[in-house]
Amino acid sequence: MTSAIFSALNVLTHPVGAGSVRDAQTSQQDALLAALRANRAFLLEQLQTEEGLEVRRLREEARARAAWFSGDTEDTTWGFVQECLLLLLTLARHLSVQLELFNQTPAPSAAKLRTPEMAPPLPPDVLSVTQQKTLAAVLQFVVSLGLCPYLAPGVGVALGRRSEFGAMVEGLVRGSLVPAGERRLLTTTNVLLELAELSSLATPLFTRHLGDVTAALCQLGYRPRRSDAASTKEEKELGIDERKTCREALNTLLGKVYQPIVIKELLILQGGPKQAAPVGGSSGTTNRSALGAAPPWLRRLCGQLLSERLMQPKGVQAVVRAILEGGRGGESDWRKCDSVARILVACPQQSVSPDSYYRQVCPQILELLHFKDKLTAQQFQRVATRAVLTMVEDKPEFGQQYILAPLLGPLQSCAIPTGEGNPQCPVEEWELSRCVEDVYKIWVVGNSPSAALLKALEEVLPVLFTLFCFTKQNVSHLRAPCQEILLWYLGHTEPSGALSVLRRLSGLGGQPHGVAPEFHFTPGSDGGARLSPREVVSDEDDALYEQLSGEQWRLECLVQLLAELQDSDLPGDFFLELLQELTSWTTEEEEEEEEEEEQEVDVSAMTLLEVEQHLLGRAAGRGQSLALLQVLAVVCEGLPHTLLLRKTTQVVDFMVSLLQRACVGLGQAPDPGTENPVESQTLSMGIGLVATLLSGPQLSAEDYASMLRLLPPLEKLSQKHPEAAIQELASSLRAVIATHGAYKPENLTAAAQYSRKPGATQNNNRVPSTKKQKMQPPAKSSHLSQTRSHSPTMDTIPNAPSNPPAPAQCKKKPNPIRTQTSSDAEEPGAQHANPTQTKPLIPGHVRHTEAPGASDPGPPTRAFSNWLLEACDPEVPTRAVALRALTRMVRDGDSEAVQAQEKVLVLFLENLEHDDSFVYLSAIQGLAVLADSFPERILQRLLGEFQRGPSLPTSDKEHSLETRLKVGEVLMRASRAMGELAPHLGRPLIGAFLQGTRDQDQTVRASCLSNLGELCQRLDYALGPLAQELSSCLTALIKTEKEAEVRRAAVHVIALLLRGLSDKTTQVLSDVLLELYRALKWVVRSDRDDVTVLHAQLALEELDDVMRRFIFPEQKLEKKIVVLP
């Protein structure tokens, strides 16, 4: 029966008698009318036959119920529409009956025979593709001929604006001229709504004609009645009940349909601008100018309905989806996002109050930040960000209450409670993670700094910094967003505010932590963090250690944060402010000491409370001073000078602070017993720095203007400093600055080198023996200073004797190295002969005169046992010379050294952990020689030390990483010395180095890769079986390693491989050569580290040379003579 009904519908929509119609037509409208009449007549003929008997019965039943049907109408189009509506009602009622029977009477026999592979039976309302096409055609005829012509002007999209056929139909049917146009519109709408009760018919109806049905319901239910005499009788017949029914149907329809589609249709119904574009545009235009101006009542109605959609649950999401769905992320989409944000922030007139509107909408705006769908998350985030920023700026009271307070709520919950009624409670991981991500999206990604946003973020900045310090100790996904938020704030706030925040975070401006002492952050299960109660530490020492270590770690994290501000003056300004505060503190200390000397505090005349307050005040001042010194020390140690002093003005500020601090106390009488060598050295450095700056080739007038602040401290130095040399230099520098370089004395260059002269530094090395020098004449003091400059062991070695060892040897034979050291000391900028300060030493050359045998480069003349004893001597030169002597004995194959190789090995390993570079470099050289002489046994021991750390009982476990790196240096030297034995001896080393590339420490990974490169380039063809594993390791490190140092080493290994294999590369690395080439190209295109890219380019050049020699071999002019058998 369903097929028969669709056959009848097909008769109405299929052109019948097209040839005769085409011959008779005089215009398109006449042809259409003739086709409609012919199709309707042919349908009635078909229904009179036996095949259409059942369809005719169902049609008659539907006709009997339809009071609106008029069989004698002369309007061809309306008669055709009536037949379509009757058949549609017939189809709907038939499908409803069949579906009800299907649901009530299941087939038991079929259920027994059903298998898991069988599909369930289809319900009777499922339509085929052909039936769906027929139904779509019938609905289009009904809407085009029976609904759209009867809409008022401006209501919905006119047919003429849709297509040329629509314009022709619009001219054929003039709904405004039809007497019963409003009643026909009501009839068509009611029938379509009855069809929509069946889901299989509602889908094609609302998919194509939702806007037309909505427009009809709006006109029937809300169009104001005309009170003039021109109103027709039919319009008056629409009673209040009918209009109320249409309104209820409209609300029901808008509530059932997918809300973004409803909003989109309402926006179309709202119409375009009042000055609409003229009709006649192409049918493909879909921009807003193609929409006509809607009547005022319809515009108000659509605005009210849109506001209702917006204020209902998930209404904001529906509005955003309706406007932005289908966008491609272009410029127009970004403008749409901004427009949607402005719409959301504007409170509609239909709202009860602004407070109720924002209370309902703002949480939905924040929910837009939490979408995970990549296609919509970016647009939703843009809308939410712009809406929040606009809300905070235009509606600050509502923005603070409904946006910023919920947004920053978890971070504010972590902060120290301000009142007794607000106890602090734990914060879960998901809350903290979502809060940090939202703050990152709004503040950093939105990147619209305003006073309200900066102030709101400043309140939670201590908590955020504490969380950042916690993430630096663990692996957490919150580390990067926390760092970006902090950097964004420091980069966008005012310099004075940023400096105030830095002081607060460093502990100089009050409570820096932000989190209550009884709470702390703990790792979360998903890589985040949560706020948990802190366990009470009963031991006071442990609690104090935890507090001090926590403060130190906060300072280190703050310095790391400042190091990221490469293009900012903030680190330098913060450093200069600390120096200025240090100068002020020094001046206050001097004044307080003078006051205490003049007026001694009489404790006996004070009460206990006054004494306690006095002592606590002094202790607080001392504690603040110590905190200042600690912050200043960490900043100087962690930040390079190029970041601290980026501009000339900052250098001048630094020198002003330095010279002012040096001028403190110059007015007092000099006391030789209280001489401060640090201040003396600081002053000499400051004078040298000023002279260096003034001796520069180009100084502008602005530079000289900034240097005018140096005149007061230089004048004070030139008048009150006890040393005549400094007075003269200060006076000369003051004259150069005052004359803007017109006067330049001859000794200006010498003043620039003043801080690096031997005399300026030697006087500062007398700290341990100040008391002895007071009782000695000046000549002896000078002689002692010269002696110490040539004998560093007396000042640098803790257990060194006061007299030089072996004075007889020094008298017998003058040491030429002493003469060389003395001559070197006269050079400007020459370094001291202290082995702890001079790291790049040349093996075999010692710069110490007191060490026995240091000047004898020949073979050792002492017994082996004596060298073993001297290798344990506490004096650095003696121990280093003994180690080198033992190294020569092992290299020469001495019998005692060969027999005692285990003792020599242990001795070298122990000295490997020594702090002095002279000693541990000698031990490294000895171990390399030992591994070369006894490779199979020594290499296994060294591999164990490298993989598991030092194994000796006396080893320092805290410095195991440094020791492992030194052992790695030994293995690298041993690899270089293997030669042709590398394929035999290097297999265990390769395994250890590959395993070391997964070590937790980045320096160990880089060391393993460096050793791997040195070894692999000597393996030649033995590298073939390991090529695949080696390639996988290197490419994985290049693409996944976060540390730039390790990536550099991995790329360098490839370069060493190509350089070592040379022409054998295409044979040994044939299977992995393409993979290595792609990895190098990936580095050149994608890596952000310039050094890594440079290494990759060098490796590509090596590969290019190899492939050129392989493809274009060198032509040799030679002749081959083959002797045939």
**What does DSSP assign to residue 403?**
I
What pLDDT does residue 727 have?
83
Whether 711 contacts 653, CB under 8 Å = no
Which has the higher per-residue pLDDT, 469 or 328? Answer: 469
What pLDDT does residue 33 have?
83
Structure tokens at 1082: 């990936």
d(CA 392, CA 441) in angstroms, rounded, equals 15
Count of C-beta atoms within a 10 Å radius of residue 984: 11
pLDDT at position 479 over 50: yes
pLDDT (average), residues 988-997: 78
What pLDDT does residue 280 have?
40
d(CA 102, CA 762) in angstroms, rounded, equals 107
What pLDDT does residue 848 have?
34
Please, is 1020 exposed, middle or buried when counting C-beta atoms within 10 Å of its C-beta (0-12, 13-18, 19+)?
middle
pLDDT (average), residues 877-882: 82
Whether 572 contacts 644, CB under 8 Å = yes
d(CA 854, CA 1014) in angstroms, rounded, equals 33
pLDDT band for 272, please (50, 70, 90 cuts): low
- Residue 302: CA count within 13 A, CB half-sphere: 25
Who's near 76: CB < 8 A, 6+ residues apart? 33, 36, 37
Which has the higher per-residue pLDDT, 416 or 856? Answer: 416
Q: Which helix or strand (DSSP H or E) is residue 1060 part of?
A: helix 1044-1061
What pLDDT does residue 591 have?
61
What pLDDT does residue 488 have?
93
d(CA 764, CA 756) in angstroms, rounded, equals 12
As a whole-number percent, the residues of the chain with pLDDT over 70 amount to: 75
Residue 970's closest CA among 1000, 1022, 1019, 935?
935
pLDDT band for 758, please (50, 70, 90 cuts): very low
Lowest mean pLDDT among 220-229, 455-464, 651-660, 1041-1050: 220-229
What pLDDT does residue 696 have?
67
Structure tokens at 1086: 């994608």
Strands 529-533 and 519-523, bridge-based pairing: antiparallel
What pLDDT does residue 769 have?
35
CA distances in angstroms from 631 to 259, 357, 628, 643, listed in the order given? 58, 49, 5, 16
Whether 439 contacts 457, CB under 8 Å = yes
pLDDT at position 849 over 70: no
What pLDDT does residue 1043 have?
87
Dihedral through CA 43, CA 1, CA 53, CA 32, nearest 10?
0
pLDDT at position 830 over 80: no
Which has the higher per-residue pLDDT, 1043 or 272? Answer: 1043
CA distances in angstroms from 95 to 56, 61, 100, 710, 912, listed in the order given? 16, 15, 8, 99, 93
What pLDDT does residue 762 have?
38
pLDDT at position 350 over 90: no
Which has the higher per-residue pLDDT, 737 or 233? Answer: 737
pLDDT band for 467, please (50, 70, 90 cuts): very high
Mind listing the pLDDT tens digit for each residue in 382-430? Answer: 888 889 998 888 888 998 999 999 999 888 888 866 555 455 678 899 9
Whether 710 contacts 753, CB under 8 Å = no
Mind listing the pLDDT tens digit for each residue in 1040-1097? Answer: 888 888 888 889 888 888 888 888 888 888 888 888 888 888 988 888 888 889 988 8
pLDDT band for 857, please (50, 70, 90 cuts): very low
pLDDT band for 485, please (50, 70, 90 cuts): very high
What pLDDT does residue 478 have?
92
What pLDDT does residue 437 have?
92
pLDDT at position 256 over 70: yes
pLDDT (average), residues 351-357: 85
Q: Which helix or strand (DSSP H or E) is residue 521 part of?
A: strand 519-523
Highest mean pLDDT among 140-154, 617-631, 915-929, 959-973: 140-154
pLDDT band for 952, please (50, 70, 90 cuts): low
Q: Which helix or strand (DSSP H or E) is residue 533 part of?
A: strand 529-533
d(CA 550, CA 554) in angstroms, rounded, equals 6
What pLDDT does residue 625 have?
75
pLDDT band for 28, please (50, 70, 90 cuts): confident
As a whole-number percent, the residues of the chain with pLDDT over 90 amount to: 5
d(CA 511, CA 528) in angstroms, rounded, equals 25
On whether the pTM is more than 0.85, the answer is no
pLDDT band for 115, please (50, 70, 90 cuts): low
Mind listing the pLDDT tens digit for each residue in 64-87? Answer: 787 787 777 778 888 888 888 888
Which has the higher per-residue pLDDT, 335 or 849? Answer: 335
pLDDT at position 197 over 80: yes
pLDDT (average), residues 903-914: 79
Q: Helix, strand, or coil here: 157?
A: coil
What pLDDT does residue 433 have?
92
Count of C-beta atoms within a 10 Å radius of residue 329: 12
pLDDT (average), residues 438-449: 90
